[in-house]
Structure 1
């Protein structure tokens, strides 16, 4: 028995994955919940002046990188302790001079119809920027083991749109048949078989099912 869309036959039936269902996993769900939060990012580049760079730090699987990462994450968590949306930092790369850190701050943002996420991001970005700039010191003491940093480059990163978030969730081959719908409860990705869709495929008394070729009336 041939199962479609990544499904596997367990000896009795097709075991479907993701958004798919049906005897052969040939149909896609009409409504996919994307959630009521979104991860937004702030991009930062800074120089750590009181630490020495080791060439092995260029390899993110090395012990030197991992030790630095652990210390860096701990200090960033402390710096952003009053930023309620702060979630984590991801180091993109470490390079020489003393140590140049290229990293992203991950912010968990509320995402629904009643929130202007871009306005919220702008407000949080300002707080993050102020926190970093206030800590950037030229005459820094590393007595407590903390990092001394300067030469900050802080950049905004556009928050993903509702459409972009849905396109990340929906499997290839089906993206053209879904639209994003923002509700008071969060974001949903709805197929053209859903009556709420702006491209609703009306089957009248028939049953609309989404296949790889698009909506079909059965």
Structure 2
């Protein structure tokens, strides 16, 4: 986010995060943000990234803690709008007295970006049987985080199993092809298959077609030879 503090003057010291001027301003800014955002239950503080002239323009991040669900991003977006409204509607300051709290420009504050951090990929390692860690990953659902196997379509990299049942063993995921009595399978993901009935019917038909073609060729040749003889 960015906000404009109008009752403070920018100085060169504010460019240096280790300076007393920067640290004093940071402490005051954090205290005032904690007061302004006390109604936001997910608020966990702010981090100032930089300060620049005009009077003092603050580039900062608001830290939020929201439930880890599939709606986390939309939740963050909704809270972001509240953060802007709260700062821009803050009127309890005395513009002419630097000893007062920070006064914000009522139309300057904006959200430059808002997103929920992705769930740590190692989250499931302590929740699954030993030796299976590589085959589980966290998936965000409407109810929270689930640790799902690579057989689940919600996994980060789901295992391909088309015409079959996927299962995970210590040696890795495998696809048990279905309807083996009716089909031959040509790959491990059970994607390419041949119908046994189709082959059983097709081969004799193909053989009969070849035989008919050969017999026709033989008759044609015999006819030509008979004409030549005459």
TM range (shorter): 0.5 to 0.7
For residue 215 of structure 2, what is the aligned residue in structure 1?
Answer: none
For residue 146 of structure 1, what is the aligned residue in structure 2?
Answer: 101
Report the Cα distance in structure 2 between the residues aligned to 1:84 and 1:138, rounded to whole angstroms. 24
For residue 129 of structure 1, what is the aligned residue in structure 2?
Answer: 84
Q: Which structure shows the bigger proportion of residues in strand conformation?
A: 1
Alignment of structure 1 residues 24-35 onto 2, 5 Å: none
**Secondary structure of the equivalent of 2:24?**
helix
Report the Cα distance in structure 1 between the residues aligned to 2:92 and 2:153, rounded to whole angstroms. 57
Paired residues of 2:80 and 2:114 also in contact (CA < 8 A) = no
Specify which of 182, 191, 199 is matched with residue 159 of structure 2. Answer: 199
Paired residues of 2:37 and 2:83 also in contact (CA < 8 A) = yes
Instruction: Label 1:77 to 1:192 Cα distance change in 2 as closer, same or farther (>3 A).
Output: same
Q: CA deviation at 1:76?
A: 0.7
**Secondary structure of the equivalent of 1:64?**
helix
Paired residues of 2:167 and 2:173 also in contact (CA < 8 A) = no
Specify which of 70, 82, 95 is matched with residue 52 of structure 2. Answer: 95
Paired residues of 2:87 and 2:109 also in contact (CA < 8 A) = no
Specify which of 53, 58, 74 is matched with residue 15 of structure 2. Answer: 58
Paired residues of 2:84 and 2:109 also in contact (CA < 8 A) = no
Instruction: Label 1:128 to 1:181 Cα distance change in 2 as closer, same or farther (>3 A).
Output: same
Question: Runs of 5+ in structure 2 lacking a partner?
Answer: 125-133, 161-165, 175-230
Whichever of the two has the greater Rg, that structure is 2
Alignment of structure 1 residues 1-218 onto 2, 5 Å: 44-112=1-69, 116-135=71-90, 140-142=95-97, 145-150=100-105, 152-155=108-111, 157-160=113-116, 164-167=118-121, 179-183=137-141, 186-188=144-146, 190=148, 192=150, 197=155, 198-199=158-159, 202=167, 207-208=169-170, 215=172
**Secondary structure of the equivalent of 1:75?**
helix
Q: CA deviation at 1:87?
A: 1.1
Paired residues of 2:136 and 2:148 also in contact (CA < 8 A) = yes
**Which consecutive segments of 4 or more residues in structure 1 shift more than 6 A?**
136-139, 193-196
Report the Cα distance in structure 1 between the residues aligned to 2:2 and 2:59, rounded to whole angstroms. 4
Q: CA deviation at 1:117?
A: 2.5
Q: CA deviation at 1:95?
A: 1.3
The alignment's TM-score, normalised by the length of structure 1, stands at: 0.56
Q: CA deviation at 1:97?
A: 2.2
Paired residues of 2:72 and 2:116 also in contact (CA < 8 A) = no
Q: CA deviation at 1:89?
A: 0.8
